[in-house]
Structure 1
């Protein structure tokens, strides 16, 4: 009985930690994290409201125009709740082109902190209502990018080199109504020129060479299957020939006229 009580206590503690009930990991995001350098320069000058660049190291960079003083960043957990989105390399760009790092956002009256279900970014106190842009880097997943639409407007997602979405089994984009193009670095650009009205933008993609690997595996499976079928049929034919030679497999005629029972004719 004591063992069951101990197990229940441990499970409850783990549940509390993973759900954020104990407050572990909440509070201001560290200065080293928000002032770190992005993997590449942020795409400030862009025609879309939100510009997202998926990196090959399973991270992404984003620049979004701001039309409110506070932005809540999160991911949905699939159970009706949310988890905070981890952020690093945070930058804010004023309409005049001045760019400040995350620590200076705080110095100017803003904040970057994490609660148990979201990351809250408040812009500097001197930020204008419109015209500024917020940029940060966060985590993604291999071959699938999904992110809530924190800001209303048009979107653009840029995939890493040699990634595509065309093959239906491996590639999928939601919502529809997008256009695509490939730049001189062989990166696919997915653009929604009309404002996105759904809650989430999702892109499932694949490496181009994956199709060749899949095609090779599929051809091998078909070849092995056909070879096995041929071998199986050949074995049956050989067995039939042997039975015929031994006089076992002799067909007999079947009399369709049942006639009367024996002794009744």
Structure 2
């Protein structure tokens, strides 16, 4: 009886473990609603770079990649050298002739959008030709964008309105070799050729500098006031000790006399 009970428990544990492994290692479907969701703003199809990334104000980004292969893997690297799949929505593919299809149409034409724990694999439709472009929308983090370089070549990153990168350490861009241009109230960071494994842009609002400057000024005033207060307290204590006779210096009459028994 005990043996049968033990076998039942082991079988249940194996079933749970296998189900968990399947969830971790197997593909996960992305809903049709996510695939066909409207992007926050129209994708910038007509651009001269291999990767065009627009960061929006709600901590999201829109990326348009020119593909030179029939698939692309989308992921972020963790702090241990591994990969984690990124969230993907508003998937679009544009053929070289300008025809744009949605994510579900891409799948219906023989393509795939499969998500695992480590990456999102997008395979192009069977009728896709060279020089097509894939566009996706995903999540970012406030005031900092970082993503692996999924395609080789030139890159452009468009910051949200009124964001800046000029003042270090609030603004920082890697890799080096970039140029910055203005387009109205927006900054566009461009690389002619990115050879690094990832790009990273840290940016700020102009008002952030004012807030930091005001906070630094307040801390400076508080620090100066604190030093002045403690100096006054030390001076008051010194005078109090003098009044009590604790700091009265006595003349040593025998400083010039030799020790007893040695004169």
Query: Shorter-chain TM-score: what band?
Result: 0.7 to 0.9
Where 1:161 maps in the other structure, the secondary structure is: coil
Q: TM-score under structure 1 normalisation?
A: 0.86
Superposed displacement of residue 206, structure 1: 1.6
Where 2:92 maps in the other structure, the secondary structure is: strand
Match of 1:207 among 205, 209, 229: 205
Question: Which has more radius of gyration?
Answer: 2
CA offsets, 1:96-150, max 9 Å, x none?
Answer: 111110111111111111122110101111111x221100100111111110100
- Structure 1 spans left out of the alignment, 5+ residues: 1-12
Q: 1:102 to 1:256 in 2, by over 3 A?
A: farther
Superposed displacement of residue 256, structure 1: 10
Task: Kindly tell me the number of residue pairs found equivalent between the two proteins.
Answer: 248
Contact 1:69-1:123 within 8 A present in 2 as well: yes
- Structure 2 spans left out of the alignment, 5+ residues: 1-15
Partner of 1:88: 89
Superposed displacement of residue 230, structure 1: 0.2
Partner of 2:75: 74
Partner of 1:220: 218
CA offsets, 1:46-99, max 9 Å, x none?
Answer: 121100011111110011111100101111112121111211000011111111
Contact 1:51-1:62 within 8 A present in 2 as well: yes
Superposed displacement of residue 169, structure 1: 1.8
- RMSD across aligned positions (CA): 2.3
CA offsets, 1:165-196, max 9 Å, x none?
Answer: 12212221110000112221x11111112x10
Partner of 2:165: 165
Partner of 2:23: 22
Where 2:160 maps in the other structure, the secondary structure is: strand
Contact 1:21-1:116 within 8 A present in 2 as well: no
Superposed displacement of residue 235, structure 1: 1.1
CA offsets, 1:225-264, max 9 Å, x none?
Answer: 1101001101111222233334332234568966521243
Partner of 1:175: 175
Name the CA distance, whole Å, in 2 between partners of 1:137 and 1:201. Answer: 17
